[in-house]
Amino acid sequence: AAAVDALLRTAQEWPWPAPAAATFALARVARSASPAMRELLRQRQAALCELTTLRDAAARANVLSALAALAGGCADADPESFVGRGHAPAVRAAAQRWWFALDEASPARRAAQTRCLREALDSRLAATCAAPELPSLGPNADVFAYGLDGRTLLPRTLVALHLADGTVLVGSTDASGRLVVEDAPEGTLRLEDPLSTPLEP
């Protein structure tokens, strides 16, 4: 409980990139194999909902992914608010998953899904719109980050690792340019520069 509360405080109060890292950890708690851990976060769902106002795209995507995993609603935020073109693809994809978890058969959700399939230029967003279920957790993700030339490793570099369930790990590679995520969701991984995504509206 103390760790979950500390993560919520960090996400709310600390400067970037701490909120992105803290919300990634919260999303991992939401998908934990431990029912007790998930219940701890569910009891703090109102505090989690407050984090939907974070303007960092990675942090917001993580929060929406956590809400999707908990199938939890918010009093002052709804997934429909985040599926529009003004949001980053990671946020739109996470919102689609959250909406699906809350109300799979909603006519409005199905209309948004159809619109997303028609308009999505980002491959991750298109894949999520086609199959908004959360992917199962699988083996570890073991990634080496390379520069744009495809040959130069990036040691001790801040990167954004997009995972298949819509979560985004913003963290530093090690001295070998490596990043490892245990029990990663099955599916495609994508590395990006976390500074390249503009702030959310």
State the chain's mean pLDDT as an integer. 92
Two tokens, residue 141:
């993700």
* Length of the chain (residues): 201
Q: What are phi and psi of 143, to 5 degrees?
A: -120, 140
Q: Who has greater pLDDT, 194 or 103?
A: 194
pLDDT per residue as tens digits for the range 96-130 = 999 999 887 678 878 888 888 787 777 778 888 88
pLDDT of residue 33: 87
pLDDT of residue 32: 92
How big, in percent rounded to 5, are the helix, strand and coil portions of the chain? Answer: 50, 10, 40
pLDDT per residue as tens digits for the range 53-94 = 999 999 999 999 999 999 999 999 999 899 888 999 999 999
- Per-residue pLDDT band for 37 (boundaries 50, 70, 90) equals very high
Q: Who has greater pLDDT, 119 or 21?
A: 21
Whole-prediction pTM value?
A: 0.93
What separation in angstroms does the CA of 17 have from each of 32, 103, 178, 192? Answer: 23, 32, 19, 14
Tell me which amino acid residue 134 is: L
Residue 113: partners with Cβ closer than 8 Å, 6 or more residues away:
96, 129, 132
pLDDT per residue as tens digits for the range 1-16 = 999 999 999 999 999 9
- Per-residue pLDDT band for 135 (boundaries 50, 70, 90) equals very high
pLDDT of residue 126: 85
